């Protein structure tokens, strides 16, 4: 199969729905589902009946503005979200009204303007199909140009061409570390082993982060396509997706997508009539945050306790069952298909000097527009929070934004104008992490926030190395005393010392970064700690 054959196939799939001129798109991702999108979809199907054959109700992925869910968009099949008529907070009782106004002016009562900055200021690469296509439909994905990256790689490029393209793109790992993806792939590709593995890390454990879940629920084929391109480039024929068991919808959609891709010859043996074979298997996590760490994740796939081991050897050399293994996160794989399709130079033109492309962020906390956004690297925090996020509700003042989950830190208002990329966040004492952003207003106590994250790290510590196991407990008990205004100045000094020791001596990322929330709140909000001292 070559690109022309794929284009024919896409045309054929589009022709099936030729008579449809309007789509009523209902979000079927988890957030809208939990606010009742299922019954809304049923009500719309009932209300539509069979009288309008040119109109179709379709379940689609995440449209981003989760706080206004369930969301319903009315649009022509080729129209994007910004061109659609979007309705918010829809209930089943609204179905008749929505169907009734299909031909007229939008229903004012539920209308959610799509020219507002939340939609207009985004740039979508990873989420290009989220909210447009039916995540359970293989044909839907191919119809919008899906699998063109894979077919281009297989039919026109050698594995080293693929590696070169990914290296040119400047893509860096989206799981948090920001390791150059091209370099990682090339290292695994160079290994002479017969058997290699590709792993997709979908163990999104950061509380307050839901980017990977939304990608898997909205566009699962994109992740599979990225993994297949990676497997071709490094010479692997077996891949795993390690996904949290807490995401049942994402797991189900992944299973469906893998089954359909396999049935259509895009996975399995002799993919697209070439010599390339790939089996993809889904493995469920069982609720251990540490399994986001790559060596712990591999232990878990092997059926063991998810405990990390020292590196080197790195997984690229000796990973799953001792074989060379490539591990990337969901969002990293989701960037691959467009890079191969459009070229590495195209991707490298987006973003900042050292951080290319876009980043998906999950906005949550005390912010008006809670949801999922994608912006070019380098977009300022102020733009993200005040313009796209709509600022703080209820007339309260902004205090801090927390990025990077339990491994990250809090950024105060004086640094809001900084452009977000891997390096700028590091200089502020926090990190990109996987992309969760929790906004806090003046009512949040920073000591309390630090205690919250330390409690998280304490309970999630796997217990293998002493600095993390004992250090997080000791730091938590000091923070607990401080939060209850029972701490002393000596406690504060001891806490600082502990932070340094745990950071320097822990075995894996969990322990090494556990002190970050404490250090960053101490750096920017020291007065709050001082105010709580009992011997002040």
**Shortest approach of another protein to residue 187 CB, angstroms?**
25
Residues β-bridged to residue 363: 371, 437
Cα gap 299→384, rounded to integer Å? 37
For the chain, the straight-line distance linking the first and the last C-alpha, in angstroms and rounded, comes to 74
**Shortest approach of another protein to residue 32 CB, angstroms?**
9
Query: By C-beta, is 68 or 234 nearer to another protein?
Result: 68
**Shortest approach of another protein to residue 353 CB, angstroms?**
31
Query: By C-beta, is 105 or 397 nearer to another protein?
Result: 397
Q: Output the six-digit token pair for 181.
A: 């993806």
Length of the chain as a residue count: 536
Q: What are the φ/ψ torsions at residue 500 (nearest 5 degrees)?
A: -65, -45
**Shortest approach of another protein to residue 412 CB, angstroms?**
16
Query: By C-beta, is 172 or 244 nearer to another protein?
Result: 244
* Residues 258 and 280: beta-carbon distance below 8 Å: yes
Query: By C-beta, is 193 or 249 nearer to another protein?
Result: 249
Residue 152 DSSP symbol: H
Query: By C-beta, is 30 or 326 nearer to another protein?
Result: 30
Contacts of 520 (CB under 8 A, 6+ apart): 408, 409, 410, 411, 428, 429, 430
Query: By C-beta, is 320 or 499 nearer to another protein?
Result: 320
Q: Is 410 helix (H, G, I), strand (E, B) or coil?
A: strand
Contacts of 275 (CB under 8 A, 6+ apart): none
Quote the distance between the C-alpha of residue 8 and its chain's center: 32
* Residues 370 and 364: beta-carbon distance below 8 Å: yes
Contacts of 532 (CB under 8 A, 6+ apart): 447, 482, 483, 485, 487
Diameter of the chain measured on Cα atoms: 76
Query: By C-beta, is 285 or 319 nearer to another protein?
Result: 285
Query: By C-beta, is 30 or 154 nearer to another protein?
Result: 30
**Shortest approach of another protein to residue 30 CB, angstroms?**
6
Please count the helices (runs of H) and the strands (runs of E) in the chain. Answer: 23, 13
Token pair 């979508």: residue:
124
**Shortest approach of another protein to residue 483 CB, angstroms?**
12
Query: By C-beta, is 180 or 207 nearer to another protein?
Result: 207
**Shortest approach of another protein to residue 66 CB, angstroms?**
3
**Shortest approach of another protein to residue 365 CB, angstroms?**
5
Reported as type and span, the H/E element at residue 365 is: strand 358-365
Residues that bind another protein in the complex, under the rule CB under 8 A? 30-31, 34-35, 66-67, 69, 205-210, 213, 245-247, 283-289, 300-306, 362, 364-366, 370-371, 402, 405, 436, 438, 440, 444, 452-453, 456, 460, 462
**Shortest approach of another protein to residue 35 CB, angstroms?**
6
Q: Output the six-digit token pair for 419.
A: 């452009």
* Residues 406 and 450: beta-carbon distance below 8 Å: no
């Amino acid at each position: 199969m070559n690109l022309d054959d794929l284009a024919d196939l896409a045309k054929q799939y589009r022709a099936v729905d030729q008579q449809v001129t309007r789509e009523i798109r209902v979000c079927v991702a988890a957030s809208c589902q939990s606010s009742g999108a299922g019954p809304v979809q049923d009500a719309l199907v009932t209300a539509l009946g069979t009288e309008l054959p040119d109109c179709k109700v379709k379940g689609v992925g995440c449209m981003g503005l989760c706080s206004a869910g369930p969301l319903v968009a009315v649009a022509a099949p080729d129209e994007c979200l910004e061109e659609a008529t979007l309705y918010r907070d829809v209930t089943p009782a609204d179905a008749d009204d929505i169907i009734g106004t299909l031909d007229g002016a939008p229903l004012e009562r539920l209308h959610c303007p799509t020219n507002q900055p939340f939609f207009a200021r985004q740039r979508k690469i990873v989420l290009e199909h989220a909210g447009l296509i039916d995540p359970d439909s293989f044909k839907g994905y191919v119809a919008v140009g899906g699998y063109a990256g894979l077919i281009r790689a297989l039919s026109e490029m050698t594995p080293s061409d693929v590696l070169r393209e990914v290296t040119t793109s400047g893509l860096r790992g989206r799981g948090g570390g920001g390791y150059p993806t091209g370099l990682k792939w090339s290292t695994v590709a160079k290994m002479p082993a017969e058997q290699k593995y590709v792993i997709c890390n979908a163990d999104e454990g950061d509380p307050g982060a839901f980017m990977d879940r939304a990608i898997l629920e909205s566009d699962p084929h994109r992740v599979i396509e990225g993994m297949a391109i990676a497997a071709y480039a490094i010479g692997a024929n077996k891949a795993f997706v390690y996904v949290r068991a807490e995401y049942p919808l994402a797991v189900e959609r992944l299973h469906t997508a893998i089954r359909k891709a396999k049935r259509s010859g895009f996975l399995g043996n002799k993919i697209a009539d070439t010599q390339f074979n790939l089996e993809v298997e889904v493995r469920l996590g069982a609720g251990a945050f540490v399994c986001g760490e790559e060596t712990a994740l591999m232990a878990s796939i092997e059926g063991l306790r998810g405990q990390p081991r020292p590196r080197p050897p790195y997984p690229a050399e000796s990973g799953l069952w001792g074989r060379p293994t490539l591990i990337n996160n969901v969002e990293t794989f989701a960037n691959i298909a467009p890079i191969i399709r459009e070229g590495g130079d195209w991707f490298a033109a987006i973003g900042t000097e050292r951080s290319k492309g876009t980043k998906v962020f999950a906005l949550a906390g005390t912010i008006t527009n809670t949801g999922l956004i994608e912006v070019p690297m380098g977009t300022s925090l102020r733009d993200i929070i005040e313009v796209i996020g709509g600022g703080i509700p209820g007339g309260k003042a902004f205090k801090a934004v927390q990025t990077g989950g339990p491994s990250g830190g809090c950024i105060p208002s004086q640094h809001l104008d900084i452009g977000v990329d891997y390096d700028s966040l590091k200089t502020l004492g926090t990190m990109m992490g996987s992309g969760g952003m929790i906004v806090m207003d003046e009512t949040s106590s920073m000591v309390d926030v630090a205690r919250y994250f330390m409690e998280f790290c304490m309970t999630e510590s796997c217990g293998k190395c002493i600095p993390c196991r004992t250090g997080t407990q000791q730091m938590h008990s000091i923070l607990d005393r401080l939060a209850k205004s029972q701490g002393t100045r000596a406690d504060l000094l001891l806490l600082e010392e502990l932070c340094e020791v745990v950071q320097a001596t822990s075995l894996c990322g969990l322990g090494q970064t556990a002190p970050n929330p404490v250090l960053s709140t101490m750096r920017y909000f020291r007065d709050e700690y001082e105010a709580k001292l009992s011997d002040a």
